[in-house]
Amino acid sequence: MNRNITRRGILRTGMATGGAALLTPFAASRIFAQEPEKPAEIIVRAWGGDWVAALKAGVSDRFTEETGIAVRHDLTEDNEIQPKIWAAVAQGRIPPIHVNWDTTTNASKSALRGVTEDLSDLANLSNTTDLAKPIGLDGYPIVNTYGYVYVLAYRPEAFPDGAPKSWRDLLDPRLKRRIALYNDGIGFHFPAQVAGGGSLEDIPGNMDACWEFIREIKNQQPLLGEDPDFTAWFQNGEIDAACTISTNALAAKKNGIDLAWTVPEEGCKFDTDGMWIPQGLPENELYWAKQYINMALSKESQQIWLDGLGLPGVVPDLTPPEGLENDPSYPTKPEDFEDLIRISSKIQIENESEWFAKFKEIMQG
Amino acid sequence: MISRSQRVIFWCLVWFCIVILSVPTIIVVGASLTGGNIITFPPDGFSLKWYRQIALARDLQQAFSRSIIVSLICLAVSLPVGTLAGIALTRFRLRFANAIQIYLLLPFTIPLIGSGIGMMLVFGSWHILGNIWPVGVALAVINLPFIIWSVSSSAAALDSDLELAAASCGAGRFETFLHVTLPGVMPGVITGGLLMFVLAMTEFLVSLLLTDARTVTLPVQIYNNIRSIITPDLAAVSSVFVLIALLAVWLLDRLVGLEIFLKSK
Amino acid sequence: MPRDSEDRSFRYPLKWRIMDGLNAALDLLWPRRLGRYTGWALLTPALLLVGILVLGLFQIAENSLHTLDTSTFLPGEEYTLANYRIIAESPTYWRIVWRSLLGAGLTVFFTLLLALPYSYIMVRTNKAALRKTLLIVLFLPFFIGQVVRAYGILIVMGSSGAVNDALGLVGIEPIRLLFNFPAVVFGLVQYMLPFAVLMLAPALTAIPRETETAASSLGANWVKVFRHVILPMAKPGLVGAALVVGTLSLTDFAMPAMLGGGSQDFIANAIYDQFFRTADQGLGSALALLLVALGSVIAGVVIAFFGAGTLGMRGRK
């Protein structure tokens, strides 16, 4: 991307936003006298569907209302935007986006690589819980914005005796070819370590129990996919149970599929998503990108945004969405976290490719 | 005379082809008419609401017009380049012919992800990323063998004595090319051009790596939407494509006749 | 065109003069004595265009010689062949390479098996309407794109899809048709069929109908006619189609990803995983180069033995 394009982009979007800004030119310039020049728009990477709808309602629309800066959403997958940003920073180009809404694991990789901007001066950070602070990184090269659980989602009609109590219940012969996991095994490694008789303290040193259990699961011939696949497979009646993020189950449920989820006795993986800003933006755009993330951390925005996602946020005293109070996929109190497994993102990102390769080795056999 | 056993066997295979080629298309068109919120077949009630939705979606329309531009650029680059190369490969004796052949097959032997990443790095270092035209050039590159192949299959069938005859009648080299060689390879140029255009309209992986939020094209938009959740509006978009395809095929048939694809001379 | 000499001054038509100008310009820019290089001159734009890919390949080759340092997520400084060693020592990658080769081979076989009768009937029929219908059936799937087509297959062949419904009518329990190796090959065949037919049809058209008639009047049955007349004469088309279908399916990403259920990866899927999921661009690059080498060697062997077919080179005489 070069200057030329940015300017053209401004002209184009200026048509849409210019009107509102023109009405109050004097007031605006007086109030924001010390503020850097506003870009016509900022680009925020987001997941599509319900995810981006929730972000738009909770953060983007409020941001535009308050600043007059339009927000454009880039729906490229987090995995796929990553090499684009890395290449842009390495080649000294302006990155293709202003704010990346990302998984904490992926975001941490970018932070370690040194392509992220420091966020520790955001005003709203003072009102956040510990969840907002990335573990294993210095300061705030990224900021976590909410947590989520890799639940065991299932179709109640396939489990007439009630919710599965253990991950081992997936080994039931009648579930052969009827279960699904992420294709890199993400979310499943840690409960599998427990279900295989191992201990969480041994991660990453000794994960034999995990691999042993995954080998047993392999005999069930699970389907392997990504977020949208789970929703589609539940909808098309391909599977009865899956280890997936609760939001996907919630999405299928909203589409009229009878679904429930549970946290089995071995526990479920808890993880976070976050936001960060790539390096290489012009000063003024960097300032406004930071304001965007700052707004995402405000209580008002978190309430609306996370109601849409059905996930617990990083500011205290949010009202849980209807039906999710005390739900295992919506942990807020310390005791809610007892059944959940949280491993530092440092251990995760250092070992992830190895775990991934091992999982593939078993599953591609 | 076609014997009975041959007819039975051939028609069985042809019907199988017709079924596997058309059924997914029919399903997608059918699913776009659903009244429900998920893609199913048979559709869940009849409704045009998804068409209304895409008619109102400005981002889809912008992505669509960008795709048209990208495909036209792809065509503008690949038509002359591919035509000349196809002629060169068939009408001239070149050394290292097999090596050239393997070199020109690189767009097919390099996986699209590799081509995408490679071109992202190259275009990035040239500081032209963020424009629309490099996407068109990239799509011309990755599909180039198609047009070279279709031109050279036409050119191979062209009798080179015709060119000699033209030359001996006093035609200059340029006239010979314009009046003899070019009309001779025209069927190949048209087939190849259509392929290039359509493939550029539907390519998503390389385009994904070369576009950004301001230059996103329709297939990338569709691909990204499929990655989140698949709603019937995508089936509606695809159905619009089918409609355009039917129109294009009809137009082509009126203008030059569909049989041009079967001709080798 | 009659000479235009009505007035005192004798003038050639404008078109002639333009032509002469262009010819003169051509003579100036590209003198006739360079004639034996004309082929190369015509080829140069294509060589340059593909050159963009080669530049990218150089970058990828560079990447493949560095390992990823997971404490900084930057490629290491020193040059090493470690990524290639990882691939060579991994039974998983060998299995994936073998699966890709087998998948591509089967796809070529089945695609040609279907494309041959399809093109034959399309070319030989006397009914214009039938020919047009067959052509339209061929073209429509092109416009929908690979991903949406694969999604169509997912719906039709799913556990509660139309095919299983039909099987249910004759009393067969629903079976899992998708998410296995045959499903991926099926998807690839469906995807490649139009390409193959479009490449075969011109080659079949070039075979005079009389040749066949002559062969059968000499007592050959249709199988013999096909084996000894049609197949040899259509060889350029067959080789061209096989090269295109083979290389494209060897490097395919979408079909194994969507129809394989996650356990039927091809090499392109493994490359995708390294580039996009584990961010190990070095290993991904090494895999990509391996795939390019594999595809090029196979294409080279085919071309060396059978010629490049309709892909070009001194057409049949």
The SS3 assignment for C308 reads coil
Please write the tens of the pLDDT for every residue from C249-283: 999 999 999 899 888 999 999 999 999 988 899 99
> Which chains contact A through at least 3 pairs of Cβ atoms less than 8 Å apart?
B, C
Please name the residues in contact with A300: beta carbons below 8 A apart, sequence gap of 6 or more.
A62
Query: What integer best gives the mean pLDDT of chain C?
Result: 87
Query: How many B×C Cβ pairs under 8 Å?
Result: 367
pLDDT score of B144 more than 80: yes
**Which pair of structure tokens corresponds to residue C191?**
């995807």
Question: Hey, what's the torsion of the CAs at C202, C146, B100, B98, to 10 degrees?
Answer: -60
Burial level of A4, CB count in 10 A (0-12/13-18/19+)? exposed
More confident call, A25 vs B86? B86
> Is the CB of C117 less than 8 angstroms away from the CB of B113?
no
- Which residues of chain A from 247 to 276 reach within 8 Å of chain C, CB to CB? none
> Is the CB of B113 less than 8 angstroms away from the CB of C151?
no
Residue C241 contacts residue C112 (beta carbons within 8 Å)? yes
- In order, the DSSP letters of A91-118 are TTPPPS-SEEEEEHHHHHHHHHHT-B--
More confident call, A110 vs B175? A110
Residue B83 contacts residue B181 (beta carbons within 8 Å)? no
> Is the CB of C46 less than 8 angstroms away from the CB of B140?
no
A175, A182, A227 from A214: Cα distances, Å? 15, 12, 20
Residue A355 contacts residue A211 (beta carbons within 8 Å)? no
* Residue whose C-alpha is closest to residue B204's, from B76, B113, B128: B113
Q: What is the mean pLDDT of residues B41-45?
A: 78
Nearest to A364 among C92, C159, C277 (CB): C92
User: B35 CB near a chain C CB, below 8 Å?
Assistant: no
A82 CB neighbours in chain C (<8 A) are 276, 279
Mutate to test the interface with B, among C198, C244, C265, C305 (most CBs of B within 10 A): C198
Q: How far apart are CA C127 and CA C125, in angstroms?
A: 5
Q: What is the pLDDT of residue A283?
A: 95
Residue C148 contacts residue B28 (beta carbons within 8 Å)? yes
Q: What is the pLDDT of residue A68?
A: 96
Q: How far apart are CA A180 and CA A226, in angstroms?
A: 10
Mutate to test the interface with A, among B207, B224, B231 (most CBs of A within 10 A): B224
Look-up of token digits 């994904």: B208
- In order, the DSSP letters of C273-297 are IIIIIS--HHHHHHHHHHHHHHHHH
> Is the CB of C300 less than 8 angstroms away from the CB of B98?
yes
> Is the CB of C263 less than 8 angstroms away from the CB of A357?
no
Q: What is the pLDDT of residue C9?
A: 65
SS (HEC) of chain B: CCCHHHHHHHHHHHHHHHHHHHHHHHHHHHHCCECCCCCCCCCCCECCHHHHHHHHCHHHHHHHHHHHHHHHHHHHHHHHHHHHHHHHHHHCCCCCHHHHHHHHCHHHHCCHHHHHHHHHHHHHHCCCECECHHHHHHHHHHHHHHHHHHHHHHHHHCCHHHHHHHHHCCCCHHHHHHHHHHHHHHHHHHHHHHHHHHHHHHCCHHHHHHCCCCCCCHHHHHHHHHHHCCCHHHHHHHHHHHHHHHHHHHHHHHHCCHHHHHCCC
> Is the CB of C95 less than 8 angstroms away from the CB of A364?
yes
CB atoms within 10 A of CB A293: 28
Per-residue burial over C215-252, b if 16 or more Cβ lie within 10 Å, else e, is: bbeeebebeebbeebbeebbbbbbbbbbbbbbbbbbbb
Q: What is the mean pLDDT of residues C223-234?
A: 87
**Which pair of structure tokens corresponds to residue B218?**
């329709």
B231 CB neighbours in chain A (<8 A) are 49
Please write the tens of the pLDDT for every residue from A337-350: 999 999 888 888 88
In chain A, the percentage of residues whose pLDDT exceeds 90 is: 72
Lowest-confidence pick of B17-26, C38-47, C151-160: C151-160
Per-residue burial over C262-275, b if 16 or more Cβ lie within 10 Å, else e, is: bbbbbbbbbbbbbb
Q: What is the pLDDT of residue A176?
A: 93
Going by their DSSP bridges, the two strands A268-276 and A241-245 should be labelled as: unpaired
Please name the residues in contact with C198: beta carbons below 8 A apart, sequence gap of 6 or more.
B150, B191, B195, B261, C138
Please write the tens of the pLDDT for every residue from A212-232: 999 999 999 999 988 878 888
Q: How far apart are CA B22 and CA B18, in angstroms?
A: 6
The SS3 assignment for C251 reads coil
B198 CB neighbours in chain C (<8 A) are 142-143
Residue C103 contacts residue C185 (beta carbons within 8 Å)? yes
Query: What integer best gives the mean pLDDT of chain A?
Result: 88
Please write the tens of the pLDDT for every residue from A145-194: 999 999 999 999 999 999 999 999 999 999 999 999 998 899 999 999 99
Please name the residues in contact with B3: beta carbons below 8 A apart, sequence gap of 6 or more.
C221, C222
pLDDT score of A23 more than 60: no
Q: What is the pLDDT of residue A15?
A: 42
**Which pair of structure tokens corresponds to residue A86?**
């890395």
Chain B residues with a Cβ under 8 Å from any Cβ in chain A:
36-38, 40, 117, 120-121, 124-125, 127-131, 208-209, 212-214, 216, 221, 224-231
Please write the tens of the pLDDT for every residue from A240-267: 999 999 988 888 888 788 999 999 999 9
What secondary structure letter does DSSP report for A75?
Answer: -
Nearest CA in chain B to C142: B198
Instruction: Give the range with max mean pLDDT: A45-54, A67-76, C274-283.
Output: A67-76
Please name the residues in contact with C73: beta carbons below 8 A apart, sequence gap of 6 or more.
A109, A110, A112, A113, A349, C279
**Which pair of structure tokens corresponds to residue C16?**
């002639």
More confident call, A44 vs C9? A44
Nearest to A49 among B124, B131, B229 (CB): B229
CB atoms within 10 A of CB C306: 15
User: B207 CB near a chain C CB, below 8 Å?
Assistant: no
> Is the CB of A96 less than 8 angstroms away from the CB of B121?
no
CB atoms within 10 A of CB C78: 9
Handedness of CA C61, C62, C67, C71 (dihedral sign): negative
Q: How far apart are CA C187 and CA C192, in angstroms?
A: 9
Lowest-confidence pick of A271-285, B36-50, C64-78: B36-50
Lowest-confidence pick of A98-112, A172-186, A302-316, C201-215: C201-215
Lowest-confidence pick of A169-178, A320-329, B33-42, B210-219: B33-42
Helix axes C181-205, B182-202, angle to 10 degrees: 160
Lowest-confidence pick of A46-55, A148-157, B222-231: B222-231
CA distance C81 to chain B (A): 19
Length reported for chain B: 265
Residue B143 contacts residue B76 (beta carbons within 8 Å)? no
Burial level of B170, CB count in 10 A (0-12/13-18/19+)? exposed
B227 CB neighbours in chain A (<8 A) are 47-48, 75, 77, 226-228
Q: What is the mean pLDDT of residues B241-264?
A: 77
More confident call, C51 vs A33? C51
Whether residue C117 has a cis bond before it, omega within 30° of 0 = no
Q: How far apart are CA A239 and CA A248, in angstroms?
A: 14
Going by their DSSP bridges, the two strands A260-262 and A70-74 should be labelled as: unpaired
Q: What is the pLDDT of residue A93?
A: 94
pLDDT score of A20 more than 60: no
Q: What is the pLDDT of residue B263?
A: 63
Q: ipTM of this complex > 0.95?
A: no
Residue B79 contacts residue B193 (beta carbons within 8 Å)? yes
Please write the tens of the pLDDT for every residue from C110-165: 999 999 999 999 998 888 899 889 988 988 887 778 877 888 888 888 887 888 88
In chain B, the percentage of residues whose pLDDT exceeds 90 is: 41
What secondary structure letter does DSSP report for C247?
Answer: H
What confidence tier does C309 reach under pLDDT thresholds 50, 70, 90? Answer: low
Q: What is the pLDDT of residue A74?
A: 94
